């Protein structure tokens, strides 16, 4: 099947917005950028308030190891935006933006996300060798499989099926991970292999939730009793400082009494803080999520953690679609190829859940879970986020899927070097997350992104066809 001499623009396949191309070039594009940024914020809210807490309950219920939880449930959930983007690229945009996003988010997860965890973990986090070795080996095989599939720039139904099958095989490996890990640790004792289990800490956290919810009223009553005893005690004189429940403060004369309601007009007359501005900006998103997703952190919704997990994925996908739409229009308006947008801005946007989720668990001391999420997300992205939409497309349209950019093939090859660098850098750094380690990953990330963009902009020869005529 011959490839066309131009790449179909993704913008043709999205709904028309309220502005013409001339209006966008004259300033209306700012609105699209702001909407895309707002979707970024929406992704972070979903991940921080709903997705990660639901993952903690699921992992505790299934008694998962830290690295297994990170490589499976956390990776699949936080990669929902990549899956949505790939479906958009195959069925809606019919171009390489999905593949470009997967390739871009892959290097983003490997280098940028792990680098952020190392820089902002708050302490040095030690790692085990087995989870990193296992995930990087599976990831390398996934990259090789993707390269074999797209090297002829045509994807057939059986090639897509092989990718999906390989991901199922990866899940099977994770199921038997305790057996493989025991064998590996007995076989090789020259690397670090000790870290706390996930379920022990998650159990403690869930017990805290239960205690807080069950003892809330009791603590309130105890506080009231304590205040009454203090006020009625004969040993306390009127000159003593009253309790904190009154409007008096220490060393404040009686003439300076401040009523609680007085602080309200004072706040209205002063400049709002950043937290107040952020709360106002995010209020629409917070309200929508509040009425559509049960918050499993609350005692009455603790048993709904699976519904919380699924609804979180739904909203991650919705926000990702809107974000991809806005970024695609922005790239078209600025004359940037879709694959370049996918390798950079779209990849950054859809990987926000990966970054937030990994950073949260890294700050809690679970470095293995953070890295397994980053690498496991890449395996999910390559095998399932590309294989599944390609398989559906070949079966639905009864024809092969075309890959328009030869530059993406070179970018996929370059992915193999990032895996090698990650393992070598981790070993040289003593199998721990540190600031120096994070800085080195960031530098390589910038270099790789610049190299991939150069491929797509034909700096090293003609690799990416020009964009076809736009009807928008």
Band (pLDDT 50/70/90 cuts) for residue 245 is very low
Q: 67 or 253, which is more confident?
A: 67
Give DSSP secondary structure letters for 303-315.
Answer: GGHHHHHHHHHHH
Write a three-state SS string for 403-455.
CCCHHHHHHHHHHHHHHHHHHHHHHHCCCEECHHHHHHHHHHHHHHHHHHHHH
According to DSSP, the residues that pair with 239 across neighbouring strands are none
Alpha carbon distance 120, 206 (integer Å): 25
DSSP 8-class letter at 382: I
* Residue 216 pLDDT exceeds 50: no
pLDDT at 206: 44
Give the residue, 269 or 306, on which the prediction is more confident. 306
CA distance 25 to 383: 38
**pLDDT at residue 2 above 50?**
no
Count CA within 13 A, CB hemisphere, residue 222.
Answer: 5
Higher pLDDT, 413 or 222: 413
Q: Which residue has the tokens 């986020």?
A: 385
What are 126's strand-pairing partners?
432
CA atoms within 13 A on the CB side of 311: 18
CATH of domain 20-203+285-456: 1.20.1420.30
- Residues 126-179: pLDDT tens digits? 888 888 899 999 999 998 898 888 888 788 999 999 999 999 898 888 888 888
Q: pTM for the whole thing?
A: 0.66
Q: Which of 304, 296, 300 is nearest to 216 (CA)?
A: 300
3-state secondary structure of 317: helix
Residue pair 361/373 in contact (Cβ under 8 Å)? The answer is: yes
Positive or negative: CA dihedral 123, 115, 87, 152: negative
Contact 115, 441 (CB under 8 A): yes
């Amino acid at each position: 099947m011959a490839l066309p001499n131009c790449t179909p623009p993704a913008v043709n396949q999205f709904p028309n917005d309220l502005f013409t191309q001339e209006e966008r070039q004259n300033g209306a594009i700012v609105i699209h950028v702001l909407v895309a940024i707002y979707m970024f914020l929406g992704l972070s809210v979903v991940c921080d308030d709903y997705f990660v807490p639901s993952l903690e309950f699921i992992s505790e219920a299934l008694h998962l190891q830290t690295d297994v939880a990170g490589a499976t449930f956390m990776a699949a959930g936080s990669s929902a935006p990549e899956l949505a983007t790939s479906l958009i690229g195959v069925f809606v945009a019919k171009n390489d933006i999905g593949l470009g996003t997967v390739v871009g988010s892959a290097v983003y997860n490997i280098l940028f996300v792990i680098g952020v965890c190392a820089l902002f973990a708050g302490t040095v986090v030690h790692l085990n060798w087995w989870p990193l070795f296992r995930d990087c080996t599976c990831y390398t095989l996934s990259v090789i499989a993707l390269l074999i599939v797209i090297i002829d720039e045509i994807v057939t139904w059986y090639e897509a099926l092989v990718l999906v099958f390989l991901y199922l095989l990866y899940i099977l490996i994770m199921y038997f991970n305790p057996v493989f890990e025991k064998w590996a640790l007995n076989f090789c004792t020259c690397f670090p292999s000790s870290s706390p289990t996930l379920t022990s800490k998650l159990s403690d956290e869930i017990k805290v939730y239960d205690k807080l919810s069950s003892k809330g009223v009791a603590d309130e009553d105890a506080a009231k009793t304590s205040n009454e005893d203090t006020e009625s005690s004969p040993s306390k004189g009127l000159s003593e400082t009253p309790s904190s429940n009154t409007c008096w403060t220490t060393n404040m004369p009686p003439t300076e009494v401040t009523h609680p309601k007085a602080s309200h007009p004072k706040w209205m007359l002063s400049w709002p803080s950043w937290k107040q501005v952020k709360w106002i900006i995010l209020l629409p998103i917070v309200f929508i999520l509040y009425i559509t997703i049960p918050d499993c952190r609350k005692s009455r919704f603790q048993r709904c953690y699976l519904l919380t997990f699924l609804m979180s994925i739904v909203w991650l996908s919705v926000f990702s679609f809107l974000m991809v739409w806005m970024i695609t229009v922005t790239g078209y308006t600025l004359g940037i190829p879709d694959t370049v947008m996918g390798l950079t801005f779209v990849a950054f946007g859809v990987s926000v859940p990966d970054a937030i989720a990994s950073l949260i668990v890294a700050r809690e001391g679970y470095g293995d879970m953070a890295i397994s999420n980053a690498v496991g997300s890449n395996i999910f992205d390559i095998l399932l986020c590309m294989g599944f939409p390609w398989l559906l497309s070949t079966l639905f349209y009864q024809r092969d899927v075309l890959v328009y950019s030869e530059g993406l093939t070179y970018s996929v090859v370059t992915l193999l070097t990032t895996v090698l660098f990650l393992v070598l850098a981790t070993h040289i750094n003593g199998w721990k997350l540190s600031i120096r380690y994070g800085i080195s990953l960031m530098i390589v990330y910038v270099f790789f992104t610049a190299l991939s963009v150069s491929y797509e902009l034909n700096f090293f020869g003609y690799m990416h066809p020009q964009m076809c005529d736009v009807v928008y």
